[in-house]
Amino acid sequence: MTTPILELNDVSVDFDGFFALTDLSLSLSHGELRSIIGPNGAGKTTFLDVITGKVRPTKGSVSLRGASIVGLSEQKISLLGVGRKFQTPRVFENLTVTRNLELAASPTKEPFSLMFKKLGPTAKDEVHRLMDYVGLAPFAKVLAGSLSHGQKQWLAISMLVAQSPDIILLDEPVAGLTDEETNRTAELIKSLAGEHTVVVIEHDMEFIRDLGAPVTVLHQGKLLTEGTLDEVKSDPKVIEVYLGQAD
Amino acid sequence: MKLFKKLIPWLLLAFAFFVLPAILSQFRLNLFGRYFSLAIVALGIDLIWGYTGLLSLGQGIFFALGGYAIGMHLLLVTQNDFTTGANGLPKFFENYGVDNLPFFWQPFWSFPWTLIAIWLIPAIVAGLVGYLIFRNRIKGVYFSIITQASLMVFYHFFNGQQKLVNGTNGLKTSTTEIFGMVVGSDDAQIVFYRITLILLPFAYLLCKFLTSGRFGDALIGIRDDEARLRFTGFNPVPFKVIVYLVAGGLAGISGALYTIQSGIVSPQYMAIPMSIEMVIWVAVGGRGTLIGPIIGAVLVNYLRSLVSEALPEAWLFVQGGLFIFVVVLMPDGIYGWFKNGGFMSMLAAFGLAKKSATYPKVDMDEGYAAES
């Protein structure tokens, strides 16, 4: 096996005595698509916080392409190629759809180049391509704040793609979407895998099945099991944490 | 029509530049000169608060620093009986037995340096203060509190330093001379009025440049969701430092213009109410627009003059009432209210104009109305 693009080793996060993650080890190889499930409070979001630099692990190591990223700021990790979509669709509500995407797609994030340089044609084309792809082209000049929930989700995802990160972390990408939108999102995500490494956190099992990717189950901050969806579903440990102990 | 709308501010500017001096009394004109200079500090506040979401309650620091810079220069270069003491230094030094000019006064002999210092010193101070605050990720209300605390530090420092800057008395510039004119004279004042009106559009255009492009998008991104912007790969710190620095520089220019037109600079410019009033002007005029703060600064201060002339005690009540009125009924300020069609819907409420069609299908389609 080639060296993993992202590797977590014995990562623990201690919030004043409460362990959100306990000795979690996980590795992702380049181009992999991975689903992560787990009941509420399993540490799924903390797991993303640790990777993206929002939360510093109390113990353990996180390395990207073999180099440690523990202690780096969020923007540095982002520039190293880790992109994240939040649980709620976070977009810049007072900017238009185009401008949201242009900010994300901008190859430079430095104040003075933003002041004096125009966005290059490649980035502009990418913005148009993405808007067409997710069906937001008719809303190009609409403020992101007035989009519907599903459109905001897609805008958030396409902003992530516009950043063109090597690793795409999606926290509940289909929450609140219609079935049709969910199917389309699954397609989009599958098309991203291969070129990018994609991690999807979801509660929607149908959607996880659509993705057809290896599933990792987290429970109380620990890695419970890994496998295909069917393997995982028939695992007694998983059934126990989801449905409670069978008497 | 669109072109006409775009031209309105420039027409008003030309009107203020050419027509007002002819029709207003010298006293009134001087007051308007002060209002326009205050509009410059308001523009800076709009840049950091309206666009970037940083509510600074300490812009008085930078405003006063600009005022002191020009004040020191004027006191130094003027040699007349009113301002110069027996030892050739500004007169107030005599009162405290100071015979040697404090070192930091020295460069202010130079006029070019003074012109630079007016904006450079406040900008550097703002940049330093801003860097320390923003680097430590202090934001929201904590940022406001820290800026206000810094304001108090500066206020008490300047108040207490009689031997350096004449303490609480401040520096009186009206009796000083510049280019052979007494600063407080009518001839000089009309020049200052015109300089103010030339600098104001430059300040406006600078803010316009900063807010309209991708840099401006990033500022709005910081205001709306700073954490999101970080995850997109932007470091918000330099953006915030830059706008805070620019706002500080604008405040300095504003303070210098205000000082020469009001005749004095004193630590009162760093008093807490002054800085809060600056914020009120922006809120009243309309934050997040660049015309708004200019309207707010001029209108509120004009109103202040009118009210104070009629009922000297009433102004603070009127100001407070105005602020509450705007916050409750016009959250986007006067300009924002006009822009969002508030005027037309008010006319409509009184039956003077056609109601805007919020649900065109329901309102306009007669068949639809008949069915229901």
- What pLDDT, in 10s, does the model give residues B286-306? 998 999 999 999 999 999 999
Say yes or no for a CB contact (<8 Å) between B221 and A74: no
User: How far does the CA of residue A138 sit from the closest CA of chain B (Å)?
Assistant: 21
Taking CB atoms and an 8 Å cutoff, what residues of chain A touch B219? none
* Among A15-29, A200-214, B104-118, B167-181, the range of highest mean pLDDT: B104-118
pLDDT of residue B357: 53
pLDDT band at B273 (very low <50, low <70, confident <90, very high): very high
pLDDT band at A41 (very low <50, low <70, confident <90, very high): confident
Helices and strands (DSSP H and E) totals, chain B: 18, 4
Distance CA B347, CA B355 (A): 9
pLDDT of residue B302: 94
- pLDDT of residue A247 exceeding 60, the answer is no
pLDDT of residue A246: 53
Say yes or no for a CB contact (<8 Å) between B213 and A103: no
Segment B173-196 shows an average pLDDT of 89
Distance CA B83, CA B172 (A): 8
Q: Are B235 and B170 in contact (CB under 8 A)?
A: no
pTM assigned to the model: 0.88
Taking CB atoms and an 8 Å cutoff, what residues of chain A touch B225? 90, 92
Q: Are A81 and A167 in contact (CB under 8 A)?
A: yes
Cβ within 8 Å of residue B142, ≥6 positions away: none
- pLDDT of residue A237 exceeding 90, the answer is no
Whether A32 has its CB under 8 Å from any CB of chain B: the answer is no
Instruction: Give percent of chain B with pLDDT exceeding 70.
Output: 94
Say yes or no for a CB contact (<8 Å) between B214 and A90: no
Instruction: Give percent of chain A with pLDDT exceeding 90.
Output: 30
Say yes or no for a CB contact (<8 Å) between A163 and B233: yes
- pLDDT of residue B367 exceeding 50, the answer is no
- pLDDT of residue B20 exceeding 70, the answer is yes
Q: In terms of DSSP H, where are the helices of A21-148?
A: 44-52, 74-79, 97-105, 111-116, 121-134
pLDDT of residue B371: 43
Say yes or no for a CB contact (<8 Å) between B231 and A119: no
- pLDDT of residue A1 exceeding 60, the answer is no
- pLDDT of residue B129 exceeding 80, the answer is yes
Span A127-157, pLDDT tens digits:
999 899 888 999 999 999 999 888 898 899 8
Which letter, b or e, does each residue of B95-125 get, where b requires 16 or more Cβ atoms within 10 Å of its Cβ?
Answer: eeebeebeeebeebeeeeebeebbbbbbbbb
- Nearest Cα residue in chain B from A165: B232
- pLDDT of residue B272 exceeding 60, the answer is yes
User: How far does the CA of residue A209 sit from the closest CA of chain B (Å)?
Assistant: 29
> Nearest by CB to A109, which of B213, B223, B233?
B233
- Pick among A49, A92, A117 to test the B interface (most B CBs inside 10 A): A92
pLDDT band at B362 (very low <50, low <70, confident <90, very high): very low
- Count the Cβ atoms, other than its own, within 10 Å of residue B235: 19
Whether A143 has its CB under 8 Å from any CB of chain B: the answer is no
Distance CA B51, CA B45 (A): 9
pLDDT band at B330 (very low <50, low <70, confident <90, very high): confident
Whether A107 has its CB under 8 Å from any CB of chain B: the answer is no
Whether A10 has its CB under 8 Å from any CB of chain B: the answer is no
Segment B18-32 shows an average pLDDT of 90
Degrees to nearest 5, angle at CA A208 with A229 and A222 = 65
Distance CA B126, CA A220 (A): 47
- pLDDT of residue B45 exceeding 80, the answer is yes
Helix pair angle (B214-231, B236-262), 10° resolution: 140
pLDDT of residue A231: 86
Segment B29-43 shows an average pLDDT of 95
Say yes or no for a CB contact (<8 Å) between A78 and B232: yes
Q: Where are the domains of chain B?
A: 24-271
Is B171 strand, coil or helix? strand
pLDDT of residue B96: 87
> Nearest by CB to A74, which of B213, B223, B230?
B230
Say yes or no for a CB contact (<8 Å) between B218 and A111: yes
Distance CA B169, CA B250 (A): 25
Distance CA A182, CA A166 (A): 23
pLDDT band at A245 (very low <50, low <70, confident <90, very high): low
Q: Which residue has the tokens 């380049």?
A: A30
pLDDT band at B364 (very low <50, low <70, confident <90, very high): very low
Segment A208-220 shows an average pLDDT of 89
Q: What is the Cβ-side half-sphere exposure of residue A158, based on CA atoms within 13 angstroms?
A: 28
Q: Are B265 and B63 in contact (CB under 8 A)?
A: no
pLDDT of residue A17: 82
Span A89-109, pLDDT tens digits:
889 999 999 999 999 998 888
Span B186-222, pLDDT tens digits:
889 999 999 999 999 999 999 999 999 899 999 999 9
How many A-B residue pairs are in contact by the CB < 8 A criterion? 76
User: How far does the CA of residue B210 sit from the closest CA of chain A (Å)?
Assistant: 7
pLDDT of residue B365: 45
User: How far does the CA of residue A128 sit from the closest CA of chain B (Å)?
Assistant: 17
- pLDDT of residue B32 exceeding 90, the answer is yes
- pLDDT of residue B230 exceeding 70, the answer is yes
Architecture category of domain A6-234 in CATH: 3-Layer(aba) Sandwich (3.40)
What is the average pLDDT score of chain B? 89
Segment A181-204 shows an average pLDDT of 88
Segment B309-332 shows an average pLDDT of 88
pLDDT of residue B278: 95
